[in-house]
Amino acid sequence: MDSCDVLIVGAGPAGTSCAWGLRQAGLDTVILDKSAFPRDKICGGWITPEVLDELQLDPLEYARGRVFQPITGFRTGRIGGREICTEYGRPISYGIRRCEFDDYLLRRCGARTCQSTPLKSLERFGENWIANGNLKARLVVGAGGHFCPVARLLGASAQKERAVTAQEVEFEMNAAQRARCSIRADIPELYFCSDMRGYGWCFRKENFLNIGLGRLDPRGLPGHVSRFLEFLRRSKKIEFDLAVHLPGHAYLLYSGTKRQVVGEAMLLVGDAAGLAYPQSGEGIRPAIESGLLAAEAILAARGTYAREKLASYSARLAARFGSSGNDWAVAMGRRLPPQLISVLGRFLLASRWFARHVILDRWFLHREEPPLSFATPQQVAGHSFTPEEIDRPTRTLTV
């Protein structure tokens, strides 16, 4: 029987950000994931400068040997309608590949890792959790995405939840494909469906192209995807056939999630907690911030992980992201007739002011939100750790 202070189930940005915060305080942390890293992870994939600040990432160091595409603007519009190009004149985001980004954060966080190992069982014995019958932990963090097994233990039922469904693909273009692709690497393109219940995107990250479409209404998704791809060909944005299948996935929007995020010696972070931004569906920054907030709550509990001692985490999420369900755009969309939403959407999407200040600055970039400052272990727990505790070497857990 091995043991640790905290077991994190899921090695995506939420789990590794939480581990990074805990390791700075010297807590013995294990990350368990069903995949081996680096692993394929299809994602539009961009991070804002605020994410770099929050994780104290050096962009020059990260860019060595990895895709790190500066984004200086966006092209937006309605599928088949007027297009507006908004340029900022400086990098406002950076395109990344999740297979590289997630692997980098996992290696950097300093936690012990147990890869290629799914969570098969989790049982409570006294003040400990026993995972897979051979790993004991004082606290468990669920970071395994929409279908996280830890979230199920806290009552989540993915089949009963109203999730966004999406289909997307990412691949490296050859020379012929690059010549027949008019998408600019520094200007990703976003196109909303006429009913404003979803949007498609085209991101060119150096030689890699990511194309996809997501919708709140899963019915008819393949048809919307087909029409979007036809629009891209007809408008000569992509003048070659996609000879690959567009895989599907799902995630929750924070505006509609009802998941319980705190339990007895248990927390949920990232997609497991349903924290994607409601208007854009972007989940990397919320995942990272929830991981850091969870680490702060864990450190503040000072080893006592009863539900009431961890309750501050829920309050911190609400303070950072707003109360679940309290989003004006989503609320309006649920109440107005579809025909009126379509007319309003056509009008607003043709407005340069709306494209820049609402769609981009507020919905996609969240430029009004300053970076989250992760409190030091001394600030949170009131305890000074020795260099030996903080620099405890990383090792791989064998099970």
Q: What is the pLDDT of residue 56?
A: 94
Predicted confidence (pLDDT) at residue 357 exceeds the cutoff of 90: yes
Q: What is the pLDDT of residue 216?
A: 85
Q: What is the pLDDT of residue 42?
A: 84
- Of 108-112, 247-251, 336-340, 343-347, least confident by mean pLDDT is 336-340
- Round to whole Å and give the CA distance between 278 and 199: 13
Predicted confidence (pLDDT) at residue 294 exceeds the cutoff of 70: yes
Q: What is the pLDDT of residue 248?
A: 83
pLDDT digit string (tens) for 255-290?
666 789 999 999 999 999 989 888 888 899 999 999
Q: What is the pLDDT of residue 386?
A: 42
Percent of the chain scoring above 70 in pLDDT: 88
Percent of the chain scoring above 90 in pLDDT: 70
Which of 122, 125, 108, 98 shows the shortest CA–CA distance to 35? Answer: 98
- Round to whole Å and give the CA distance between 354 and 189: 16
Q: What is the pLDDT of residue 330?
A: 54
Q: What is the pLDDT of residue 122?
A: 96
110: left (phi over 0), alpha (psi -120 to 50) or beta: left
pLDDT digit string (tens) for 10-27?
999 999 999 999 999 999
- Round to whole Å and give the CA distance between 7 and 9: 6
Q: What is the pLDDT of residue 44?
A: 83
pLDDT bucket at 394, cuts 50 / 70 / 90: very low
pLDDT digit string (tens) for 192-236?
998 888 999 999 999 999 999 999 887 889 999 999 999 999 999
Predicted confidence (pLDDT) at residue 332 exceeds the cutoff of 90: no
- Round to whole Å and give the CA distance between 61 and 316: 31
* One-letter amino acid of 171: F
Q: What is the pLDDT of residue 339?
A: 74
Q: What is the pLDDT of residue 380?
A: 47
**Domains in the chain: ranges and CATH:** 2-45+97-160+252-330+369-390 (3.50.50.60), 70-94+164-250+336-368 (3.30.9)
CA dist 140 to 117, 137, 226, 274, Å? 16, 7, 41, 17
CB burial readout 85-101, b (16+ within 10 A) else e: ebebeebbbbbbbbbbb
pLDDT digit string (tens) for 83-99?
999 999 999 999 999 99
pTM value is: 0.89
Average pLDDT over residues 354-364: 95
- Round to whole Å and give the CA distance between 322 and 359: 18
CA 29 vs. chain centroid, Å, equals 21
Q: What is the pLDDT of residue 284?
A: 94
